[in-house]
Amino acid sequence: MTALSRALLTGNPRFSAAKQPQAQDNQGLEAAWRQAFANAGPAQVLAGIEGSFALGMDLDDGRTVLAVDRFAIETLCYRVVGNELRFASRADELASGAEIDPQAIYDYLYFHVIPAPRTIFKNVFRLPAGHFAVFSQGKLSVQPFWTADFQPLSKPDFGTLRSEFLQTLADSVQSQLDGGKAACFLSGGTDSSTIAGMLARVSGQKPASYSIGFEAEGYDEMEYARLAAKHFDTEHHEYYVTPKDLVQSIPLVAGFYDQPFGNSSALPAYYCAKMAKQDGVTKILAGDGGDELFGGNTRYAKQKVFGVYDDIPQGLRTTLVDPLLLNRAAEATPLLRKASSYVRQAKVPMPGRFQTYNLLERLGVAEVLSPAFLQSVDQASPHDQQAQVWAEPKADHLVDRMLAFDWRYTLAEADLPKVRGTTQLAGLKVGFPMLDDRMLAIALKLPPQYKLKGLKLRWFFKEALRGFLPDETITKKKQGFGLPFGVWANRNEELKGLAANSLESLLARGVVNKTFVRQLLDQRLAEHPGYYGEMLWILMMLEQWLQQHAPNYKV
């Protein structure tokens, strides 16, 4: 579809109204959408649609409706020019004559992606997950059609929930098959191993699994991928990414995205998808979403520990805990230092507490970025947006609110674009069975203690799969396709040269501070390659994108 197309329809929506599936089968997807909007308003229609979808359509009454699914598995961008609304799947399709937005660059450096609704281009916007827009008589309104509503069961029965979960998971995987070769990513983690096992169970064929390895200590978990492949008898394929591969593919991957994208797992994901494409696969399944729906990220347990402070009666905190621990003497005393740090962090309300770990803020915004660049941006904007997103879900428990927060920032803005972009680049379609609306419904009704039991992550998910997954898979630590970029950039001259040249070019644009760049390349990377390598990657990928899409940009 072009930027001026008046009916852009992507994804695989499922209509709940009885007449719509028939219209879809007989007349096509556009007819089904039009019939739905003829009978009800956009908010009502969209609330009843499941599956992945992006929609841009002129209606018969003169309105234009835009929408994307609950997780933004599909994506849609828009721009108002005069009295005309333009829309497209990619931001760069709408960017003719648009300037680069410095605030978007700041957001990128803060989040490592550019969260919706902003894009890298001024006045070009992206619909957030679960949102729709109506354009009528020159006016545009954007609002959510879906908000996470957690209604945990008061008397859950594990056996009943387990049976429902396993059947729903099998149905979700089955519904993603396209009739071609059954295939999946296989990192060796719980989610990808589960998808591999369900493929073997429901596809009626021996599924193919694709794994990426790294010859770098602490980064390679191929042994777990092989364990799952053997356990489920998949047709297993492996590829070990090298520093040379990165040098060749970094410009390609960076330039393919419609705006700067800093998730370093995109490179191994691309090589995995490329391997599958060469093997004749047309659609590959990914395990993304299991951690975020069922409580698998370590920060959930960490923040629950901080939540203990909130349970202390206010009077006791004010008269005893805070005076004892929030002072210089406590910070200087080894036995009290950790307790003092704990209280200081616990006193920061969520989601602000997450910023304690933000890379840009830990390094120092003024240390990394030039004064001229900082004058053009609002440093509070990312905080304000996160506070708004944090407040949106209907959730009474901390763990559920954290899950919904990650549905937006981890899934919709980072992990799904990573997989969607790299599979598109490789020429594949991709499916996300974990994010099926039927799986979402289970997550919304699971009690918080089923997701985080004490400090045990994704308790229900793992217990429900016990006996199906290998025990070693259930007990392993989460890793995924983490890229040893900092380690390799320290050792490989060609890779470090690409990174250094990128940062020198970015420095000439006036975005970053010269002192920081010199220290990063000459000192800090060698001292802590894993930690500082992440910022080196983020800056390098920004410059690689600018070179291909906005070569003349300067602050």
- In the predicted model, is pLDDT for residue 479 greater than 70? no
Q: Which residues pair with 274 in a beta bridge?
A: none
Provide DSSP, 132-147: EEEEETTEEEEEES--
- In the predicted model, is pLDDT for residue 336 greater than 60? yes
**How would residue 218 be classed by pLDDT, with cut points 50, 70 and 90?**
low
**How would residue 225 be classed by pLDDT, with cut points 50, 70 and 90?**
very high
Q: Please tell me the distance from the alpha carbon of residue 264 to that of residue 271, in angstroms, as a whole number.
A: 12
pLDDT computed for residue 337 by the predictor: 87
Percentage of the chain with pLDDT > 90? 80
Neighbours of 299 (CB within 10 A): 13
Pairing between strand 208-214 and 235-241?
parallel
Q: What is the mean pLDDT of residues 304-316?
A: 87
Q: Does domain 7-144 have CATH number 3.60.20.10?
A: yes
Dihedral sign for Cα 42, 44, 47, 50, please. Answer: negative
pLDDT computed for residue 18 by the predictor: 47
Instruction: Please check whether residue 105 is in contact with residue 120, taking contact to mean a CB–CB distance below 8 angstroms.
Output: yes
Q: Please, what is the average pLDDT of the chain?
A: 93
pTM of the model: 0.93
pLDDT (tens digit per residue) in 388-424: 999 999 999 999 999 999 999 999 999 999 999 999 9
Phi, psi of 282 (to 5 degrees): -110, -25
- In the predicted model, is pLDDT for residue 2 greater than 50? no
pLDDT (tens digit per residue) in 428-453: 999 999 999 999 999 999 999 999 99
Domain locations along the chain: 7-144, 158-295+402-475, 485-549
Long-range interactions of 320-328: CB distance < 8 A, separation 24+: 322/347
Tokens representing 211?
């794994």
* CATH architecture classification, 158-295+402-475: 3-Layer(aba) Sandwich (3.40)
**How would residue 5 be classed by pLDDT, with cut points 50, 70 and 90?**
very low
pLDDT computed for residue 170 by the predictor: 98
**How would residue 26 be classed by pLDDT, with cut points 50, 70 and 90?**
low
Q: Which is higher by pLDDT, 322 or 220?
A: 322
Q: Look up tokens 């007990």; give the residue.
A: 475
**How would residue 1 be classed by pLDDT, with cut points 50, 70 and 90?**
very low
Instruction: Please check whether residue 209 is in contact with residue 202, taking contact to mean a CB–CB distance below 8 angstroms.
Output: no
pLDDT (tens digit per residue) in 264-279: 999 999 999 999 999 9
pLDDT (tens digit per residue) in 142-181: 999 999 999 999 999 999 999 999 999 999 999 999 999 9
**How would residue 28 be classed by pLDDT, with cut points 50, 70 and 90?**
confident
pLDDT computed for residue 39 by the predictor: 86
Phi, psi of 513 (to 5 degrees): -80, 140
Q: Please tell me the distance from the alpha carbon of residue 402 to that of residue 450, in angstroms, as a whole number.
A: 15
DSSP H or E stretch at residue 127? none
Q: What is the mean pLDDT of residues 323-333?
A: 87
- In the predicted model, is pLDDT for residue 217 greater than 70? no
Q: Which is higher by pLDDT, 447 or 475?
A: 447
